[in-house]
């Protein structure tokens, strides 16, 4: 491998960044932010790709980038305007540029016909600019010719008197004035007169000038001068290396837990207060350093959602054109940071959901006007940190979910029976059923029954969940709740019927001893717990997981008050709380299979496998909905991890 081949990956990585910057700039232009800096950013992005591609001999990429760059230069110089038609050509060109870059990396070859069409469209912008310029020059010529001067006027030639400066000097001298300076007749004489230089200006002259300036400002130290021009230092690191460091941090956390458990056991046997105190301090320091390392690595892995959200502008624009609807996308919280792994896997689900919102959620212009709404629809894409998770909301101002129609289609397709008793939430969730579609005809956007079920599965694979809020005539909101990281988290250890389980600390509001006097039963016999005057559902974790009554023992139990993404509180009952610790998240699906009410697993310091509860799934259960095979799954998974 030669030197150029070794740096190709860096070039392609930079291409991705430049393409992202190009799309961002074009999105700004589309929103009316036609600043000079924005146009320059787009031009620089294409120019950088062209320059790098030239170094590697990527002829086709260089050729197309040059044509694209030339068209952008017309916009930069003000020869064409950023009209919708022009921006559509630029966005088309961005697609081709991205495809050409991908092809150079071994991806699919680019459709030559599409590439040629795009090149012609870009070149036509140059022709339009040339035509406008020619017409302007012709117009100027026409209005300044002698034949066009109205009758009664006589053209007078303008004569420049070269001796006017001499006459002026004589005049002011006679009046008692003195000329302090005069304009030289050429730039060369100006340099010779003012600087009295015998040679052309060069770097030495500049350095001398800098030294003189330094002498006049001797109070400024050399250190401050250097720091003022220093650029932020950064390096490019392969993602796999960062992932490797994160894996090692996970092993460090497990090892630290094992060390803590061994220390606690040893300390219980040997009551050496002096030595115990020193070891305790050392252990606490190690734990803090471990957490600091984890936070530092997580900060490196974290990325803002901006890169994904900006792509969605284009998805909305293109889908709106296909659907013949006017839809505006509002983005909020794009600077919210999440783990890089989530960023990479969010693009497809968000694309599906936005296309669905435009096709099924936003009404046609005629229906919106008839309903008293604005002709154009609005979709809001927002993100925020909430209860230790990342919450992404896709909300539209369309007509909402037609639940009667959804139910009728579900019955027709055999998804539900005609006598099934469903709540509004149950009906809304039918749209996530495989093969479900409300479209009667197959189009480029819908009708194949593929989409929302894929979205739900993708979000669940990330340890997240999807919920729906819809109101007829006002629109729908899809709420995605995802973990901030897929690596390490703080967990609360509890014991339920002899099993150690873990709840994410981020969803726990408070803990308390269960007071039987505070338990009440609603009309439907659902147990409620009164907490400071508020009645909230009470669920025994063991019952929800399907443990038999023989496994549930002990009258003095503990309660954990948890909160879901919508702020709803639930009281979960466990036998005891065994402490809080950092845990390394292990995916269940890759090691075993999905387990009821369980989101992941971890390895404790003792080597024992503990399951991490899916708290929202637990809070959605009743005592009758438990799964009796849960203990069997727990034991099987423990054997699986032990074998590895």
Domains of the chain listed by start with CATH number: 3-141 (1.20.120.160), 239-302 (1.10.287), 305-483 (3.30.565.10), 488-643 (2.40.50.180)
- Closest to 506 (Cα-Cα) out of 545, 564, 459: 564
**What average pLDDT does the segment 440-455 reach?**
61
Residue 14 Cα distances to 9, 190, 230, 533, 584, angstroms = 9, 46, 22, 58, 33
Burial class (CB in 10 A: 0-12, 13-18, 19+), 448: exposed
Least confident of 106-115, 247-256, 327-336: 247-256
Closest CA to 617 of 464, 493, 479, 505: 464
The share of the chain scoring above pLDDT 70, in percent, equals 72
State the average pLDDT over residues 86-107.
90
Which range among 76-80, 123-127, 209-213 shows the weakest confidence by mean pLDDT?
209-213
Q: How many residues does the chain have?
A: 644
What percentage of the chain has pLDDT greater than the value 90?
A: 20
How far is residue 565's CA from residue 468's CA, in Å, rounded to a whole number? 12
Q: Quick count: other Cβ atoms within 10 Å of Cβ 63?
A: 15
* 3-state helix vs strand vs coil in the chain, percent to 5: 50, 20, 30
pLDDT in tens, 278-308: 777 887 888 788 778 877 877 787 888 988 8
Task: Tell me the pLDDT tens digit for each residue of 589-626.
Answer: 666 677 778 888 888 877 788 888 888 788 877 544 44
**pLDDT value at residue 45:** 92
The DSSP code sequence of 579-617 is EEEEEE-B-HHHHS---TTEEEEEE-TTS-EEEEE-HHH
**Nearest-5° Cα angle at 92, 87 to 93:** 95
Q: How far is CA 316 from CA 37, 47, 140, 249, 431, in A?
A: 25, 27, 44, 40, 21
Q: Answer yes or no: is pLDDT of 151 > 60.
A: no
Q: Is the CB of residue 565 less than 8 Å from the CB of residue 481?
A: yes
C-beta of residue 493 within 8 angstroms of C-beta of residue 500: yes
- Name the burial class of residue 480, with classes exposed (0-12), middle (13-18) and buried (19+) by CB atoms within 10 angstroms of its CB: buried
The pLDDT tens digits of the residues spanning 258-280 come to 787 777 777 666 655 555 677 77
* Whole-number pLDDT of residue 625: 45
- Number of Cβ within 10 Å of residue 253's Cβ equals 24
pLDDT (average), residues 482-506: 84
Task: Spell out a b/e string for 540-560, using b for 16 or more CB atoms within 10 Å of the CB, else e.
Answer: bbbbbbbbeeebbeeeebbbb
pLDDT at 96: 92
Whether 343 and 309 have beta carbons less than 8 Å apart is answered as: no
Span 538-577, pLDDT tens digits:
888 888 887 754 444 446 789 999 987 667 789 999 999 9
SS3 365: helix
Whether 395 has a pLDDT exceeding 90, the answer reads yes
Task: Return the minimum-mean-pLDDT range out of 339-353, 468-482, 598-612, 628-642.
Answer: 628-642
Helix, strand, or coil (residue 391): strand
304 close to 340: Cβ distance less than 8 angstroms? no
Q: Which helix (H) or strand (E) holds 330?
A: strand 327-332
The H-or-E segment that residue 536 falls in is strand 534-540
pLDDT at 191 over 50: no
pLDDT over threshold 50, residue 180: no
**Cβ atoms within 10 Å, residue 373:** 20
Q: How far apart are CA 303 and CA 345, in angstroms?
A: 13
Relative orientation angle of helices 340-356 and 306-323, to the nearest 10 degrees: 20
Tokens of 16: 């991705």
Chain centroid to Cα 75, Å, comes to 29
CB atoms inside a 10 Å sphere around CB 291: 16
> What is the structure's pLDDT at 287?
79
User: Tens digits of per-residue pLDDT, 17-38?
Assistant: 889 889 888 888 887 776 788 8
Mean pLDDT score, 251-260: 79
- pLDDT value at residue 61: 92
Contact 462, 485 (CB under 8 A): no
pLDDT of residue 220: 42
Looking at per-residue pLDDT, the higher value among 196 and 349 belongs to 349
Q: 33-78 pLDDT, tens per residue? A: 767 888 999 999 999 999 888 888 899 999 999 999 999 999 888 8
The pLDDT value given to residue 396? 95
45 in Cβ contact with 18 (< 8 Å):
yes
Q: Which residue has the higher pLDDT, 366 or 184?
A: 366
- How far is residue 493 CA from its own chain's centroid? 32
Least reliable range by pLDDT among 128-132, 246-250, 475-479, 525-529? 128-132
Q: What local confidence, expressed as pLDDT, does residue 210 receive? A: 37
CB atoms under 10 Å from CB of 105, counted, come to 12
Q: Does the pLDDT of residue 376 top 50, yes or no? A: yes
Three-class secondary structure of residue 393 per DSSP: strand
Residue in 51, 53, 32 with CA at minimum distance from that of residue 43: 51
CB contact set of 130 (below 8 Å; sequence gap of 6+): none
Which among 505, 490, 489, 510 has a CA at the least distance from the CA of 569?
510
Cβ-in-10-Å burial (0-12, 13-18, 19+) of 359 comes to buried
Which pLDDT does position 476 carry in this prediction?
Answer: 94
Torsion angles phi and psi, residue 173, rounded to 5: -65, -40
Model confidence at 640, pLDDT cuts 50, 70, 90, reads low
CB 571 within 8 A of CB 537: yes
Residue 439 pLDDT grade (very low, low, confident, very high; cuts 50, 70, 90) = low
Helix axes 306-323, 3-30, angle to 10 degrees: 60
Higher pLDDT, 275 or 369: 369
Cα→Cα distances 433→354, 396, 427, 478, Å: 18, 21, 11, 15
Q: How far apart are CA 148 and CA 494, in angstroms?
A: 96
């Amino acid at each position: 491998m030669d030197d150029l081949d070794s740096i190709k990956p860096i070039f392609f990585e930079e291409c991705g960044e430049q393409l992202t910057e190009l799309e961002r700039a074009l999105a700004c232009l589309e929103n009316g932010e036609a600043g000079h800096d924005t146009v320059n950013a787009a031009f620089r992005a294409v120019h950088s790709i062209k320059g790098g591609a030239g170094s590697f001999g990527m002829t086709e990429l260089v050729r197309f980038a040059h044509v694209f760059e030339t068209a952008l230069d017309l916009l930069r110089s003000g020869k064409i305007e950023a009209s919708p038609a022009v921006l559509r050509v630029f966005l088309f060109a961005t697609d081709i540029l991205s495809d050409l870059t991908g092809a150079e990396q071994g991806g699919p070859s680019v459709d030559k016909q599409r590439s040629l069409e795009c090149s012609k469209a870009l070149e036509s912008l140059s022709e339009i600019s040339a035509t406008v310029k020619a017409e302007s020059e012709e117009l100027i010529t026409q209005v300044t010719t002698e034949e066009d001067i109205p009758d009664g006027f006589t053209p007078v030639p303008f004569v420049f008197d070269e001796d006017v400066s001499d006459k002026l000097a004589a005049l002011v001298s006679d009046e008692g004035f003195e000329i302090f300076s005069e304009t030289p007749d050429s730039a060369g004489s100006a340099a010779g007169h003012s600087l009295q230089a015998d040679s052309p200006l060069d770097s030495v002259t500049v350095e001398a000038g800098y030294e003189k300036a330094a002498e006049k400002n001797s109070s400024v130290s050399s250190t401050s001068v250097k720091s003022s021009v220093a650029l932020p230092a950064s390096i490019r690191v392969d993602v796999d290396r960062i992932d490797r460091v994160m894996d090692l941090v996970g092993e460090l956390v497990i090892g630290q837990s094992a060390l803590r458990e061994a220390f606690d056991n040893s300390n219980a046997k040997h009551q050496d207060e002096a030595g115990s105190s020193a070891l305790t301090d050392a252990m606490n320091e190690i734990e803090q350093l471990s957490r600091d390392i984890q936070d530092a690595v997580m900060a490196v892995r974290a990325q803002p959602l901006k890169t994904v959200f900006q792509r969605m502008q284009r998805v909305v624009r293109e889908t709106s054109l296909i659907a013949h609807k006017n839809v505006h996308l509002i983005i909020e919280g794009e600077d919210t940071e999440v783990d890089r792994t989530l960023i990479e896997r969010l693009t497809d689900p968000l694309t599906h959901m936005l296309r669905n919102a435009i096709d099924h959620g936003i009404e046609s212009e005629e229906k919106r006007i008839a309903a008293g709404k604005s002709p154009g629809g609005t979709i809001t894409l927002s993100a925020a940190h909430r209860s230790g998770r990342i919450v992404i909301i896709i909300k539209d101002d369309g007509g909402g979910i037609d639940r009667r129609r959804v139910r009728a289609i579900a019955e027709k397709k055999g998804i539900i029976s005609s006598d099934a008793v469903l709540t509004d939430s149950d009906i809304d969730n039918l749209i996530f059923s495989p093969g479900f579609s409300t479209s009667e005809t197959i189009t480029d956007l819908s009708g194949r029954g593929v989409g929302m079920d894929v979205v739900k599965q993708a979000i669940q694979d990330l340890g997240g969940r999807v919920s729906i809020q819809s109101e007829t005539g006002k629109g729908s909101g899809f709420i995605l709740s995802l973990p901030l990281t897929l690596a390490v988290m703080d967990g609360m250890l509890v014991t339920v019927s002899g099993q150690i389980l873990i709840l994410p600390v981020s969803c726990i509001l408070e803990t308390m001893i269960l007071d039987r006097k505070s338990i009440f039963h609603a009309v439907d016999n659902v147990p409620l717990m009164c907490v400071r005057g508020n009645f909230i559902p009470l669920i025994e974790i063991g019952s929800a997981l399907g443990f038999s009554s023989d496994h549930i023992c002990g009258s003095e139990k503990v309660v954990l008050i948890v909160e879901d993404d919508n702020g709803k509180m639930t009281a979960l009952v466990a036998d005891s709380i065994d402490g809080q610790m950092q845990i390394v998240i292990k995916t269940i699906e890759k090691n075993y299979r999905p387990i009821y009410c369980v989101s992941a697993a971890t390895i404790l310091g003792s080597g024992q496998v503990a399951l991490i509860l899916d708290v929202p799934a637990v809070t959605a259960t009743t005592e009758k909905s438990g799964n009796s095979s849960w203990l069997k799954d727990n034991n099987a998974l423990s054997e699986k991890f032990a074998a590895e």
